[in-house]
Amino acid sequence: MHRVVFLDRASLKATVRKPSCAAEYIEHAKTDAGEIVPRLAGASIAIINKVPMRDESLRRLPQLKMIAVAATGYDVVDVPYCQAHGIAVANIRNYAVHTVPEHTFALILALRRNLLAYRRDVEDGVWNRSEQFCFFTHDIGDLHGSTLGIIGEGAIGQATAAIGRAFGMRVLFADHAPPRMEGVDFTPHDQVLAESDVISLHCPLLPSTRNLIGRAAFRRMKRNTLLINTARGGLVDEAALIEALDQGLIAGAGFDVLTVEPPRNGNPLLEVRRPNFILTPHVAWASDGAMQFLADQLVDNIDGWAAGSPRNLVT
């Protein structure tokens, strides 16, 4: 039996059942960096969402045998250290395959049809003063017949592609270094940037993908391109994004993520006030159904590992 400690329980709005392998189960709403080691003293299993588990903490926790991440992304965990010291790391798989693509298309549709700009005009009385039944102050674009470029061909990327095809969009998956998912037709990365009317990011944040979209990438895009990021903030150079919007290099952007969250010390994207930019507070994943699915899989990952049948291990 194990001592199991959830370090940031408040990050998950769902019912989390006590793992069957737990002799002791403790929840903390949130945990600061200096509280990690004392709270995990004697624990063999840690549950985290965004609490960083780096080597300086891990080497002071010799009893720790498993880290269960309550998320798909595991960039907060020092995975090489864990692998070298026999600490299993498990993450969540395929839990947001509906909610993130739906949020992605909510952003795409709002931007392509200029909903924010039209709402502002209505609030400002433009419709009241119109000489006919409607007015055309902003362009409205169709998704049908346009090209959707997807960077990241996992379950969420694939689900996003399915919605795009249902809208009548041509879908391109950007090629990248191995490992690649089988059964996917890939297009060279630069070609995806150059041909896409919408580019949606669904890849993990790794050293190789940090600032994947920067000044050079924006200059390859068409002027009517929308950039959507519901994955990780560090995938995009935020200063370059603001330049691209200011210079009209792209038509707009919809983001659900920032490089630092929460942005306690500010972020330049928080200051962007324009109808072709939408920023939401990392909630694309957070439908009630998705969070409960996550919570159930989280505990299943722990009990599976404890029973000798590990699942969803990070390798």
Q: Domain for residue 147, yes or no?
A: yes
Residues 274 and 295 in one domain: no
Residues 217 and 164 in one domain: yes
Q: Domain for residue 313, yes or no?
A: no
Beta bridge partners of 68: 47, 90
Residues 226 and 182 in one domain: yes
Residues 29 and 138 in one domain: no
Residues 103 and 60 in one domain: no
Q: Domain for residue 312, yes or no?
A: no
Q: Domain for residue 315, yes or no?
A: no
Q: What does the pLDDT read at residue 104? A: 98
Residues 177 and 83 in one domain: no
> Which member of 59, 180, 261, 311 is catalytic?
261
Residues 77 and 120 in one domain: no
Mean pLDDT by 10-residue block, N- to C-terminus, for the chain (315 residues)? 97 96 97 97 97 97 98 93 98 92 98 97 97 95 98 96 98 95 96 98 94 98 98 97 98 97 96 97 95 97 98 95
String of DSSP letters for 126-141:
TTTT-SSS---SS---
What is each CA distance from 294 to 49, 88, 269, 284, in whole angstroms? 11, 18, 29, 14
Is there a catalytic annotation at residue 261? yes
Q: Domain for residue 38, yes or no?
A: yes
Domain count, the chain: 2
Residues 265 and 117 in one domain: yes
For residue 82, the domain's CATH number is: 3.40.50.720
Give the contacts of 81 (CB within 8 A, at least 6 positions apart): 54, 55, 58, 59, 87
Q: Where are the beta strands (DSSP E) in 142-192?
A: 147-151, 170-174, 186-187
- Structural domain containing residue 251: 99-279
Residues 176 and 195 in one domain: yes
Residues 33 and 88 in one domain: yes
| Contact status, residue 149 vs residue 175, Cβ threshold 8 Å | no
Is there a catalytic annotation at residue 102? no
> Which member of 2, 103, 232, 238 is catalytic?
232
pTM confidence score: 0.86
Q: What does the pLDDT read at residue 21? A: 97
Q: What does the pLDDT read at residue 278? A: 98
> Which member of 138, 170, 215, 282 is catalytic?
282
Q: Domain for residue 169, yes or no?
A: yes
CA–CA dist 97, 171 (Å, integer): 17
Our CA angle for 80, 85, 91, nearest 5°, is 55
Q: Where are the beta strands (DSSP E) in the chain?
A: 2-6, 22-27, 45-48, 66-69, 88-90, 147-151, 170-174, 186-187, 198-201, 226-229, 252-255, 277-279
Residues 44 and 132 in one domain: no
Is there a catalytic annotation at residue 264? no
| Contact status, residue 50 vs residue 11, Cβ threshold 8 Å | yes
Q: Where are the beta strands (DSSP E) in 9-61?
A: 22-27, 45-48
CA–CA dist 91, 28 (Å, integer): 19
Q: Domain for residue 155, yes or no?
A: yes
Residues 38 and 127 in one domain: no
Tell me, what amino acid is at 198?
V
| Contact status, residue 215 vs residue 240, Cβ threshold 8 Å | yes
Q: Domain for residue 212, yes or no?
A: yes
